[in-house]
Structures are given as C-alpha cells and as structure tokens.
Structure 1
Amino acid sequence: MVFSIEKMNVNRTISSQIVSIIKDNLLNGSLKPGDKLPTEKELMDQLGVSRTPVREAIKILEAIGVIQIKRGEGMYITNNLSHFTLNPLIFSLIMHSNNMEQLIEFRQHFEVLLMNMIITGKQKNLSGIEEVYQSQLERMKPALSPEELADIDLEFHYAVLEATNNPFVVEIGKTIYEIIKPNMIHFKRASNIERTLSTHKFYLELLRGNADFNSSTVVEHMIKNNEEMVEDYL
C-alpha cells in the first residue's frame, strides 16, 4: 500500500499526520483487520519523513490496539477489534495527543470527576484500588524499566476507573491513559517513583474519606504534580 501526503500541516506534528493517514485508510476501507502494513523504511520512503515520527506514530497506534507487531513478520492491523472501535472520539483524542500540556490538564480535571463519582456513588467499593496500591508499594522499584513502571502506575488509574461502575467513563478513561502511556517518560528518573506513590496515596485518602474532598484543592495538588510531569516531558 502506498501512502501519500499532499501537503504537510505545519500546525500538527508529523507523527499525528501519519496516525491520521492510517485512520483515513481504515475508515475508507483501504486498510482492513489483518492487513500487513509497510515496513518502517517503506513508510519513511513513501511519506518522505525521517524514522523518528514514523516510530512515534507506530507507538501510538500499537498502544491503543490498532496495530500488532509480530516479530520477524512485520506490522499488521489487529484482528481483535473488540476493544477498539473506529469512532470519532478516539481518533480526535489521538489527533490532539501531541499537545501533552493540554492532555495532562484534561486528565487532572477528568480524575477529579472520577473521584467525585466514587465518593458520591451509592455503592462505594475501594477494595480493587486498595489492593493495587498495596501491590505498587512492593513492586515499584528503581531497577524496573520506565515502561514497566508506567504499566504499574496505570494499574492504579484503571482500578479507579472500574470503581466508578460507569462503562462510559471506563472506556473514555482507558483511551486517555493509553494515549498518555507512551509519553510517561518521567519514570526515567527513579526519584519520581516516590512522587507517584505519594499521589496515589493522596487519591486513596480522599476516596476513603480521611481528607476533605474539595475540588479546587484537589486540582491544585494535581496541577503541581502534573507541572512536574510536563517539565520532565519537555
């Protein structure tokens, strides 16, 4: 398959434009589940771009389950689309994922919504969140890779999603976290493990009712934490 870009949009990153090309080919039927994609080198040649944005686009597409990489064989559009639907919301989020500051800003307000839903819910069950947090205290060690630490970090946030008992929130939240995941490079600094665990403890204390839930206070705490994440990203 030959891809083409008629005119590069200077207001968007090259990687997001590559993701958009894959999206358009999926939506118009040119690409179907199980189809093999060109190699990195072939994409570079066909699009006239360097290896870096191609790899960034592949990382995003793999993270959200659009493509599957088979060692020794190549890249394929996944056959398992049960958890991935080609809807405008998901692709809109993908297209804006290059703006990390705005994505983190949205995430912090979204997480305030999650906590408020759990606190005011009729059936508050924190057992899943408690279990994950206790596990993180034992498992998050500096010897682990940034990718492994990011996976463990996200387990907590997935548990919070599930505790809302709201399928709409769960699906939107999973999409947000999967888009953020490739950029969770703050774990390259082992000292940030302590910051992550401290933040999770703060969330848990609020959910337990051991601290007053004040949305402005919570957002202020998150802003400080996420500003440090942005600095690490930049």
Structure 2
Amino acid sequence: MSVADRPARPRQSRATEAREAVKSLILDRRLGVGDPLPTESELMRELGISRNSVREALKALQAVGIVEIRHGFGMFVGPMSLGGLVDELAFHGRVTPADGGHHLTHLMQIREALESGLVMQLIDRRGDCDLASAVDVLARMAEEAEVGTVSPETDRLFHDVLYAPLGNPLVGQLLGAFWDVYHQLRLDLGTPVEPPAEVVRRHRVIYDAVVAGDREAALTAIQAHFDGVRGRLARLRGGP
C-alpha cells in the first residue's frame, strides 16, 4: 500500500492537542517532579494555543497527576499518583460484570500474582536485603493480636516493609492502590473471619519462607494469605 493510499489519521481535537503540547514541553525541558511549569500566559505564547485550551489541558493533566496546581504558588510537575485508578477500581468493585464474576476477584488475582513474583525476587536477593523492619512489624502484629485484632494499617505496613528492600517505588504504589480499594469496599466485603493469631501466623510464614529461601513454601504462604480474602469474596457473591 502506498503512502497516498493509506487512510489519513483522524485529526486530534484541540483539547487533545493542548494536553499533548503541555506534556511535550515537560519532556523536552526534562522537568522532574516538583519542577515549576510556565504560567498560563507563558504557555499560551509558547504553545500558540488559547487560554481556554490551556486551562482545559491543565485541568485534564491535573486529574491524572501530571500537573499539580498549588493555588497562590503556581503550577508544578505532579508526583505519580494512582488515586484516579483507585476510585475507578473501587466503583467498578461494586458493579457486577456481565459474565457474572466480580471485579474484586480479578483485582485480588492480580495482587496475588504480583506478590508471588515479589517474594521470588526477595529470595533471589535475600543476601542483600535487610528484613529487620518486617520482624518489627510482625512483633507489632503479635501485640495487637493479643489484645484484639490486627489492624489493617499494620497488615499493610508488613507488605510495604517486606518489599521495600527491592528498591522499586512502583511496588509500594501498586500495593497501596490495592489496599485503598479494599479499604473503600471494606463494608461490602464484610469483616475478616480469621482469628488474629492466624493472621499473624500467615504473615510470619511468608517471612520465614523468604529468609529460608524456600520458593515452594513462599508461594504456598502467599496463596494461604489470600485465602481469607477469597472467602470474603465468596460470601459477597452469595457462596458458602
């Protein structure tokens, strides 16, 4: 097919062109998180677009975290955020898909697969990983279990500090997004049925398997960790 015969690409809308122009400016100038952006007037002049287009572009980029607007201070390159994704996932977590499944089940499967891969990385690098913080959190879990229940915050902290030695900032963001979705839907999911001591035990088994370098035990421990969530999802769907 010759160039002349190829179908023409649809023209981008002005709003899309404005957004892409601002993003290109950020990349071309190699701006980083927290760096100031030009003012609206400067963007109008440099990009050759109207004030309305600039404002629409900035509003759209603010919604996805690319631009941060600090009233009274100016505009800056925004930090990475999965807040929009969390809200969307939490909303769809309350919607039953056409296939009769449940979005929360799919989300849990993704998180389980993610953590299964992460513990394998920890085992591969365990000689270089300081897991002392995980031991401290396990001790806090045990203290909480003795007087009542393990708090969701402590549970979340264990996973954060366990994978922190991998040095991948996206891991914390992704796991945090999953936690935030579960938190928003906690009333829909119902209360956990595992005794607090069992919650502590399951986390300790994960830690012990990583320290021992036992891949099979680590994967089994991760699977067991999510059995409680699977049970709550089953009850949500009306199962046993």
Q: What TM-score does the superposition give when structure 1 sets the normalisation length?
A: 0.53
Which ranges of structure 1 fall in alignment gaps of 5 or more residues?
Answer: 1-25, 34-80
2:59 alignment partner in structure 1: 29
Q: What is the CA distance between 1:165 and its match in structure 2?
A: 1.6
Residue 108 of structure 1 contacts residue 222 of structure 1 at CA under 8 Å; is this kept in 2?
Answer: no
Q: Does 1:228 align with 2:224?
A: no
If you compute each CA radius of gyration, which structure gives the higher value, 1 or 2?
Answer: 2
Two-structure CA RMSD over aligned residues (Å) = 4.0
Equivalent residue in structure 2 for 1:153, among 130, 152, 155: 155
1:9 alignment partner in structure 2: none
SS at 1:125 equivalent: coil
Identity %: 14
Residue 133 of structure 2 contacts residue 161 of structure 2 at CA under 8 Å; is this kept in 1?
Answer: yes
Residue 110 of structure 2 aligns with an amino acid whose one-letter code is: F
Q: How does 1:186-225 map to 2 (within 5 A)?
A: 188-189=191-192, 191-209=194-212, 212-214=214-216, 217-218=220-221, 220-222=223-225, 224-225=227-228
Q: Alpha-carbon deviations, 1:50-107, whole Å to 9, x = none?
A: xxxxxxxxxxxxxxxxxxxxxxxxxxxxxxx976637886666556544211111111
Q: What is the CA distance between 1:140 and its match in structure 2?
A: 3.2
Residue 161 of structure 1 contacts residue 173 of structure 1 at CA under 8 Å; is this kept in 2?
Answer: no
Give distance in 1, aligned partners of 2:124 and 2:132. 16
Q: Does 1:100 align with 2:104?
A: yes
1:117 alignment partner in structure 2: 121
Q: What TM-score does the superposition give when structure 2 sets the normalisation length?
A: 0.52
Q: Alpha-carbon deviations, 1:186-207, whole Å to 9, x = none?
A: 7735644233212201211111
1:126 alignment partner in structure 2: 131
Q: Does 1:135 align with 2:165?
A: no
Relative to 1, partners in 2 of residues 1:109 and 1:96: Cα closer, same or farther, differing over 3 Å? farther
Q: What is the CA distance between 1:126 and its match in structure 2?
A: 0.8
Relative contact order: is structure 1 or structure 2 higher (C-alpha 8 Å, sep ≥ 6)?
1
Q: Alpha-carbon deviations, 1:149-193, whole Å to 9, x = none?
A: 222221111212313221122222222222222334677356442
Relative to 1, partners in 2 of residues 1:231 and 1:108: Cα closer, same or farther, differing over 3 Å? same
Q: What is the CA distance between 1:131 and its match in structure 2?
A: 0.7
Give distance in 2, aligned partners of 1:139 and 1:87. 29
Residue 118 of structure 1 contacts residue 164 of structure 1 at CA under 8 Å; is this kept in 2?
Answer: yes
How many residue pairs get aligned? The number is: 160
SS at 2:130 equivalent: coil
SS at 1:140 equivalent: helix
Equivalent residue in structure 2 for 1:85, among 76, 81, 86: 81
Residue 190 of structure 2 contacts residue 232 of structure 2 at CA under 8 Å; is this kept in 1?
Answer: no
